[in-house]
Structure 1
């Protein structure tokens, strides 16, 4: 086993001379064998080998025994040891998710913080060839391999550092034989025997059958994973070129693409571009999507509705608004915030959502330049109930448009004017004290707008709105 692993490490360039390597040590045979191997190469390779153990709080006495076992083993071998406790069940109560999913998230968060504190560049885990087969089968069965990694990578970026898997070239049987040959003791996790976990079911029923069919099945699966990964990386490089030309705007939390011309791309490039967008906006962890999510996006891309929104894993929203689609990370802590209403100062200037409203009284028949434009509203003061307020649209808001009979919903105006959904939230609406919608700036004036001024008119209110346009966000 040792020569196979050494060749694998060198072939994949997993560990280099002088690296500080942290081994995620559970106490099981896999991680203990890995610790033993790397410690044996420490002097020859100039390594600094360390170990970290995470107690997930799922087992009481046995979990404590595992931690103490690893600690004693490391002390005997002069290996720096670190450990922590994480409350998986508490996290599940507060945030949901699966036991194994939350355990993995908390474990890797701790390891990343530890590597930062100790200036460790490489994290090594004990995943082996049998784990790889199980992972590939699980992802294929659930549809999660459609866009995400089809298998575990032998090396990948991890929080600006590296995560490596030196044992992927050997099987569980190889590892147990190695432990027996070198007298390496280890702990047994009883949860590995339970069929309530998905991975265990694949391990107990699928893996024995495959190995019975071909003893080298692990090599075939790894070759399949390597080739598919290389081909996927190539397709994604082509997709990146095509999608980049269709990005309208982007920031750290969202990317908006134009759907025009997207339909002409080959279907593989339409699908692969999604993963590239998620890699950009998902800093911490890219959510795994299934075939269901990809088909949802393709439907959104090719259907003719004016707007629609998809909610994806990882707090990702995918929103279609006319000829654009926006991928965004939702802020679950702050939620969606609307701007507080502002009373219009007359005379004076009032700010709302980046727009400036200048208002004044006019007591003669002088016509202000621009009175007929969409950014200016003139009203007779006798027709209004004061004070006037600028606020976001409320559900059910209606306006009686100038020159029309009856009323129209303000939201319908947004739709007709093709205002993107994200802009509608805080688009200013001017109302009087009894709730009459006087004006939706730039879009629609009400019957209270004075289009024909007469010398006999009473005091007029002149409002001018500047500082934003239909093409801008954040209004």
Structure 2
């Protein structure tokens, strides 16, 4: 089948479009979204579609981004379509929230789509993700240790969101743009290898295709379909098991039957305890693999009484044939921990379900420190005074914050920053020897700031929970 036939078959397979649908098309100006807009415009009569175009300027790229917006608006109006072009100060938003640039832009963009969909009555929002995006996402999640929920990748349909190009390659989309002489603009930030996803797309995938499997992207797409279908089946089985295992349910407490839980395969036990935890921890509640294993050990150990402390103030204890999970309103204490910082790599902190990404990069390739979110930091790597570790704070810690004249007690710094007492132990510290060089999510240390004399930078990023199974669902 040619390109158009394959996309039509994909739309039909997942029932993406129905006659007289109102479809809001997210258009950045790149080849993927421009081709999608043109493709749906060609289908409009066949399906009696009502199309509208949405473009959001994230204010990261100045005049270049404004030129993108003008091109999208002119092209959409040339097709006779209503077009909504807006701006949002994402750099300011990420400074307030501590999110990475990509996560902040994604959240803002989806809020924009949701609002416009409501205003226009759009039952569908079409996005231009393609097979190369799918392969990138699955590899990204694989490298982070994801299970089937992460390896299913980007969903073809999620609520009102549809992705008609998800099974076709980017090069096919670019060929489509050339065939129809579509105007396109490329975002220069897509070429910056400071972002992990960009390095996967620009470096890792080409290497794997060249050295190991020329059909890698197709293989990743097939893996995504398999994992998505199997994950859905396992979730259905988990829901059935949950109804048998649950003995008592309150807003702040759950009681589970251990014999019923032990009668199920381990794969379902893992999913079930995650589900129970999420019921208490609320939306976004997530347990790392190590925390899940600690709960399963509690289930399998007939000697009860031991309390397992979980994120979000949730605690668990076995008593005879029952597993109790309850919400401690005071929140659990974070035990002391200290781990070597993996450079390059990711250091896991199971005590708080956080991770620290670390990488050494030449200063010439480093991002502007002023554009980093609080969850990121750049340090002069060669000036750091000892072995690097990540640990919880301890009594007597001192810190010299960036931009200040001298050091102070870390406790005072946290109080001045308005960090609540119960949250202070949740903040990871990166230390070099005895010196606190970064208070994770807040500020790096002044003595190790990047200067014009810096040759190598240590890039750090604090990651919460599972990063990107959640963000995968938002792509």
Q: Normalised by the shorter chain, which TM-score bucket? A: 0.5 to 0.7
Q: CA deviation at 1:92?
A: 2.5
Helix, strand or coil at the partner of 1:54:
strand
Q: Residue 56 in 1 paired to residue 58 in 2? A: yes
Partner of 1:298: 296
Pair 1:120–1:280, CA change in 2 (3 A): farther
- Structure label with greater radius of gyration: 1
Pair 1:297–1:166, CA change in 2 (3 A): farther
Helix, strand or coil at the partner of 1:245:
helix
Partner of 1:245: 244
Which structure has the highest helix share of the two?
A: 2
Helix, strand or coil at the partner of 1:52:
strand
Counterpart among 175, 184, 187 of residue 185 in structure 2? 187
Across the aligned residues of Structure 1 and Structure 2, the Cα RMSD in angstroms comes to 2.8
Q: Residue 176 in 1 paired to residue 174 in 2? A: yes
* Structure 2: gaps of 5 or more residues: 332-475
Following superposition of structure 1 onto structure 2, how do residues 15-414 of structure 1 map, counting pairs within 5 Å? 15-148=17-150, 150-157=152-159, 162-212=160-210, 213-250=212-249, 256-258=254-256, 260-261=258-259, 262-274=261-273, 276-277=275-276, 286=284, 290-299=288-297, 301-302=299-300, 304-311=304-311, 316-323=312-319, 324-326=323-325
Q: For 2:222 and 2:46, how far apart are their aligned partners in 1?
A: 30
Structure 1 outlier segments of 4+, above 6 Å: 278-283, 327-330
- Assess if the C-alpha contact under 8 Å between 1:92 and 1:99 holds in 2: yes
Q: CA deviation at 1:193?
A: 0.6
Q: CA deviation at 1:309?
A: 2.5
Q: For 1:281 and 1:167, how far apart are their aligned partners in 2?
A: 38
- Assess if the C-alpha contact under 8 Å between 1:255 and 1:277 holds in 2: no
Pair 1:302–1:203, CA change in 2 (3 A): same
Helix, strand or coil at the partner of 1:14:
coil
Q: CA deviation at 1:62?
A: 1.5
- Assess if the C-alpha contact under 8 Å between 1:147 and 1:275 holds in 2: no
- Assess if the C-alpha contact under 8 Å between 1:144 and 1:288 holds in 2: no
| Aligned residues between the structures | 322
Q: For 2:60 and 2:298, how far apart are their aligned partners in 1?
A: 42
- The one-character-per-residue Cα deviations of 1:373-394 (angstroms, maximum 9, x if unpaired) are xxxxxxxxxxxxxxxxxxxxxx
Q: CA deviation at 1:146?
A: 5.0
* Structure 1: gaps of 5 or more residues: 337-475
- The one-character-per-residue Cα deviations of 1:153-194 (angstroms, maximum 9, x if unpaired) are 11122xxxx211100121111111110111001111010010
- The two structures have a TM-score, normalised by structure 2, of 0.62
Q: For 2:295 and 2:58, how far apart are their aligned partners in 1?
A: 37
Q: For 1:205 and 1:123, how far apart are their aligned partners in 2?
A: 31
**Does 1 or 2 have the higher relative contact order (CA < 8 Å, sep 6+)?**
2
